[in-house]
Each structure stands twice: as C-alpha cells, then as structure tokens.
Structure 1
Amino acid sequence: MLCQGALDTGAVAGQFRFMFFTSDNTSGVPAQVLDGLARANDDFAAGYGNDAASLALRDRIRNVFDAPDAQVFLVATGSAANALAIASHCPPWGAVFCHELAHINVDECGAPEFFTNGAKLVPLQGAQARITPQTLDHAVIRAGKGGVHQVQPAMLSLTNLTECGTRYSATELSAVCAQARAHQLPVHLDGARFTNALVTEGCSPAEYSWQAGVDVLSLGGTKNGLMGVEAVVMFNPAQAWEFQLRRKRGGHLLSKNRYLAAQMMAWLQDDLWLDLAAHANTMAARLENGLRTHPDARVLFERGGNMLFVELPRAVHARLQAAGAQYFLWPDHATLDGPPDEPVAARLVSSWSTSEDHVDAFLKALSDI
C-alpha cells in the first residue's frame, strides 16, 4: 500500500493546491524509505560503501537483475551516474552516440564531456525520441574509424523512458544494442525512469537491461520516490575499478554511503519500487484519458509510463496556470507570450504521490475553461 505522506489534498480559496505535474522529482518520500533511513541512523557503520547496508544492497540488486557478477555503485544525482558511467567506458577522443533530445545532451551542462575529459556527444535524430538500429549504423559509418582527424566511435547511450515519455520495447532495445555490439560499442542506459518503463513493458529487469545488451545502467531512484540516490549497475565488471577511481576523483564518493543504500534497500523491499512506478503510470493514464476527450487537447507522443506531452491553446495554458496548475511548457523556450489560440506543447509528469484527486482537479480546471 502506498503512503501518501503529509500531502494536503484539500481545496484552498477555490483552487486545488496540488496540481503539480512539473516533474516526478517534486514529490516527497514514501514512509517506508524514511523508516529505512531511520534504521540506518541507529548505530556506527563503516564509511565509503564498506558498511553492511551497502554490501547487502549490492547483493539485492544482483538478485533483482539476475546478474551475480554485476558491480553496483551509488551516487546522489542522475548527472553523476550518467557522466561517470560514460566516462568509465569512453576515452577523451571518443564519440558517444545519443538521441538529440537525450538528457546527457541537453540537460547536464556538459557533464559527460567534462567527466570524460573531452569526449564528443554525437546527437542522432529519431521519431518518438528513439534511436533505430539503422540510424545508429549510418551514424557510426559516417563517423569513420581509424582516422586521426576524427573522434572515434566509442559508446551508445540510450534513455528509457525517453525524453518524450515514450518507451523502448524489450525487442527494440535488443535490436539497437545488437547494432551497437556489431560496431563494438558498449551501451549505457540512462534509466532515470527505468522502473516506469519496466512495469509498463511487463518483462524482468534482466530482460530489460543486460540480456538486451546493456553494459551499464543508471538506475534512477530519485524520480521514483527516493530522497536522492541513483545506482550505477555495471553488468560488465571490467570497468568497475575505473568507475571507483573516477567517482572518488570527481567528488561523488559519499562517506556515509549507508544512507544512500538504506533508501534504495527500502525501495526494493517488497517490490515498493515497482508499486510506486505503477501508481505513477496509472495516474498518467487517467490524465491521458481525460485529455483525449477534450476538443482543444492533442496528445503528442505514445505514453510509455508517467510522462505526457500535450498541445493546448496558449490561452488555455494561461488559465490553467492561473487556476493553480503547475507544469512546464515544452520545449524550454516556449512561452505564454503570443497569439492566444496558437497551440503550445506542455510536459505533464505524474509521480508516486499523485492522486486521483490531483488528476481530476486538473481535468476539471481544463473543462471549466
């Protein structure tokens, strides 16, 4: 059973207070996770990941992914997880192929380039924010290999859920990873919303990661209820020592690692991580169903989990936000300035703590316009 915490779901001054759809990182933390943190606070423990909780979490993740040789490392942010994972597999002269909308390309302030000491991100196009095997093949061939004047193809980075809220199926993921393997490219998966994609796909974590060809996974927890922890799961342990050195050198080795481990262990206990994601997805589906009945709304992409992109007239956005709805226009440069009838896109994201009342309040505010 999900814990809704202390959210006030009442109406204030005729407006619903929690129509928050900006991001799933705006939600609070489930009681189970806070209880886990409290238990971790009971005694002394070794530092830097050598404590019993961190070692137990490593074994738990190995079991969840059916990957007994996997190495597991914790960091506090998704940017650190992605950048360090890539840097551990890519030389400074390497090319990292990714979608043009990938978070590592547009939202991490050059962190992958910084942590790799200069590797180049090569953005690729693809419908619904997905890269196809054909697109990757053409890009690698165009990039060339062995010429001293070019960066050398070094890695593929994918995102699931994608930045458009869509999802790679297990079959699609396997196909593009196989193409990467044909070019001897290791594969990184940015899984900030991996769990949302996983519960929608309905396969096992192993089938959706290393069995599909993923070498290193950034397993996101913060967007699915945790206070602040991401796991880098290295299914090919050959680069594990380099990752540890880069994490320390980059200032992302936490002394009290047990507090990161405690969050994620509570998250995995009794399949809480799956329940939280399934609830967020269900709320997004409820929101999508309501939007599709509105004559002014146009849903832009296939919903793969808990993210929706919808077009509405600019004047409708203005009135929704005046009524208390909080969400981001999309892309980032979109504004409320301009013709009132012009369609403008927005991103709506549900979370583990989004309730039916939150969704229904948003839909009522929309229908009242």
Structure 2
Amino acid sequence: MNFASDNGAGVAPEILEAIAASSRVNAPAYGADDYSARATAMLSEVFETKVEAFLVATGTGANALALSALIRPWEAVFCHEEAHIHDDECGAPEFFAGGAKLVGVAGEGGKLTPDAFRETLTRFPRGLVKSAQPGALSLSQATEAGTIYGRDEILELCAIARAAGVRTHMDGARFANALLSSGVSPADLTWRAGIDAQSFGATKNGALACEAVVFFDESLAANFPYLRKRGGHTLSKGRFLGAQMEAYLTDGLWLRLAERANAAATRLSERLCAAPGVRIAWPTQANEVFLVVPDATLAAWREAGAKFYEWSTRSLAAERAPREGETLIRLVTSFETAPSEIDRLAALSGAR
C-alpha cells in the first residue's frame, strides 16, 4: 500500500525495452542521435505544431532551464505560492536564471486566480528600476493540490500575462494526468491557450529519467542548447533520453499509463470518502488524492504498512481544513497501483 509518490513506481516495460534496444546501437553523442530526433518530431505531432524540444534528465532541470530561457536575471517569475518551482526545487530556478525572483501568488487549491495575478502585477511596475521586472508566468499542470487548470482558465491567465509583456511557462511534470481530466487536446491546453514553453514530464508516468523542454515559440529556444550544456543536462549518451521519450509517445503509451494512474486515484478517492470521518480536501482531478482523515484511522494505516505523506498548505479553505484529531494527507497513485492496494486501505478505514 504505497501511496507516497508516483516517483516510487517502476519503469514501464515498453520503455525499459526501448532503453535496452538503444544500448545495442552505437549512436552519435550529446543528443545528435536518431532517437532524439524522432522524439522531437513526435512531440510536434502531439502538439499539432512544429516545436523545438530538448530532452533533460529531471523535472527540476526542465523547469529551471526553461525559465532561464524565458527571463533575464532582473526579472520576476509569477507562480502559485506553493508551486513546485517555488517550494520544492532548492532555488534551482533562481540559480539557473541568474538570480531572477520567484513571486508567489495565493490561490485556493494550488491555482492562482486572474484577480490575484493582476493585483500582484501592480506591485511590480514595469520601468521602475528598484523593482524586479515582470518576466514570466509559470502554471503547474497538475498543481501541487492535484487540481488542474481548465483551458479557459489558462486562456485568461495567459491573456493577462501577454498584455503585461510577460512570457508563459507550464510545469507539466504530470501533464498527461492533467490532460486526460481536461477533455481537450494537448495543443488546446498549451500553445493555443497562450503557453510559450512547457516542461513535459515523463518520469512520474513510467519513464526512467526523462523530461522534455518544449518551446512553442521557436525564437525562445535559440540559446537553449548552451543553457542545457551549461546546466549539465546535455547527456553524452543522449540516445537513452531519446529512446525513452520515443517509446513513451509511441501508440499513445503516455496516455494509457496516465489513464491507469487517474483511474486508480478516482477509485481510491471514492472508496476512502465512504469511510467514517474521511472527507475530500480538493477534487481528485489527476493522480493525487488529498484527504482529511481522523488520526486514529491514520494510525491504523501506518500500523498496516501504508505509505503516504502528511500535508501542510495555505491553499485549503478554512471550512475544509483539518480540525482537532484530524490530519490532511496526500496519496498518489501510479500506473502500477493495484486495485487490491486500494481495497485493502479502504477496508482498514471501515469503508463500506
């Protein structure tokens, strides 16, 4: 019953086989291989437009390097106050962007709102030398609360950003999971809604270690090969990244893996919310489930060996916050999560 993180899941067999097959090929180094070229072409197909795509090994690397391509050191990146780039990347975005400032924006359920974004922009007037200049907006998809931005929400936020001369980035570490819940196409959820660049995640969804930085505005990618090399993410045996991404995208594997994880999260959420004293914190929209649970129930879970994280947040409405004797927790499912794990946890909770 391991619901701690989708990072703990294994590698999809199709991707492992692709890595093994690419190991038997002597290919050009540093990403100049056919696997990486095919992966880039496939990403263009996925997004229905020609993109410039660069493969890296980690999500933090993808986010930090993508943002460093969008902004200058004296500019600010606006993001939710609990976004991964803000709270969980050890200052990497600021470091790779030469000291640029991350500005957290409040919002319920991990999502910043248009009004909050507008208000924050007023505190960073363009042309005022003593102030960090507006540089980029970064949206997490899915968010740190497991919620997703709908297409119309992204359209509105990107329109505000564009009017302010601000570029736009999407942290898509769980993009496949969010996409399935959105009901729209990858293009509609990104560049057609105004996104300039995206971190496209694969590692949490079945890859070994592979992410892509995707530029929808090709002019923004001009210096990225140097940024990636300087950042230590130009792998000498880059074909192993290309082989992973190619396998991930072939025949819709990335969507099938995410569909399994999302279905497991929905089942988990429904089963546990039927247990005495358990209530949902935010809607389950991807593969993360946030619940307020009686401490006695959590003790029984731990004794039985269940793995999960207690969670703290400023993004939960007061009426849904934990009361005395309760704790907010996060449970994450993956493409490997078995129904038996869910049913066992539900039984421990007294769910009917």
- 1:346 Cα deviation from its structure 2 partner: 0.4
Moved over 6 A (4+): none
Instruction: Find out whether 1:317 has 2:298 as its counterpart.
Output: yes
Instruction: Find out whether 1:37 has 2:19 as its counterpart.
Output: yes
Q: Distance in 2 between matches of 1:56 and 1:252?
A: 19
Identify the residue that residue 11 of structure 1 maps to in structure 2. none
Q: Deviations over 1:330-354 (max 9, x none)?
A: 029xxxxxxx961111000000000
Identify the residue that residue 52 of structure 2 maps to in structure 1. 71
Contact 1:198 1:204 in 2 (8 A): yes
Please tell me the residue identity of whatever aligns with 2:338: S
Identify the residue that residue 341 of structure 2 maps to in structure 1. 358
| Number of residue pairs aligned between Structure 1 and Structure 2 | 344
Q: 2:242 aligns with which of 250, 253, 261?
A: 261
Q: Distance in 1 between matches of 2:105 and 2:187?
A: 27
Q: Distance in 1 between matches of 2:23 and 2:76?
A: 43
Q: Distance in 2 between matches of 1:121 and 1:234?
A: 21
The 3-state SS of whatever aligns with 2:222 is helix
The 3-state SS of whatever aligns with 2:245 is helix
After superposition, the CA RMSD in angstroms is 1.6
Instruction: Find out whether 1:90 has 2:77 as its counterpart.
Output: no
Q: 2:195 aligns with which of 214, 217, 231?
A: 214
- 1:142 Cα deviation from its structure 2 partner: 1.8
Q: Distance in 1 between matches of 2:225 and 2:166?
A: 21
Instruction: Find out whether 1:119 has 2:100 as its counterpart.
Output: yes
Contact 2:69 2:227 in 1 (8 A): yes
- 1:202 Cα deviation from its structure 2 partner: 1.7
Identify the residue that residue 320 of structure 2 maps to in structure 1. none
Stretch deviating more after TM superposition (120-129 or 323-332): 323-332
Identify the residue that residue 4 of structure 1 maps to in structure 2. none
Identify the residue that residue 248 of structure 1 maps to in structure 2. 229
Contact 1:327 1:348 in 2 (8 A): yes
Contact 2:275 2:346 in 1 (8 A): no
Q: Distance in 1 between matches of 2:274 and 2:297?
A: 15
Q: Distance in 2 between matches of 1:101 and 1:291?
A: 26
The 3-state SS of whatever aligns with 1:305 is coil
Q: Distance in 2 between matches of 1:322 and 1:244?
A: 50
Q: Deviations over 1:107-129 (max 9, x none)?
A: 00000110011100000001111
Q: 1:198 aligns with which of 166, 179, 183?
A: 179
Q: Distance in 1 between matches of 2:274 and 2:38?
A: 48
Contact 1:315 1:341 in 2 (8 A): no
Instruction: Find out whether 1:105 has 2:70 as its counterpart.
Output: no
- 1:298 Cα deviation from its structure 2 partner: 1.3
Q: 2:137 aligns with which of 149, 153, 156?
A: 156
Q: Distance in 1 between matches of 2:14 and 2:230?
A: 33
TM-score (norm 2): 0.95
Q: Distance in 2 between matches of 1:278 and 1:32?
A: 16
Please tell me the residue identity of whatever aligns with 1:125: A
Please tell me the residue identity of whatever aligns with 1:37: I
Percent sequence identity is 44
Q: Distance in 1 between matches of 2:296 and 2:98?
A: 46
Identify the residue that residue 268 of structure 2 maps to in structure 1. 287
Q: Which runs of 5+ in 2 are unaligned?
A: 314-322
Contact 2:205 2:257 in 1 (8 A): yes
Identify the residue that residue 258 of structure 2 maps to in structure 1. 277
Q: 2:6 aligns with which of 21, 24, 43?
A: 24
Identify the residue that residue 328 of structure 1 maps to in structure 2. 309
Please tell me the residue identity of whatever aligns with 1:364: A
Report 1:155-194 matches (<5 A): 155-194=136-175
Identify the residue that residue 319 of structure 2 maps to in structure 1. none
Identify the residue that residue 346 of structure 1 maps to in structure 2. 329
1:51/1:122 CA distance change after superposition, 3 Å:
same
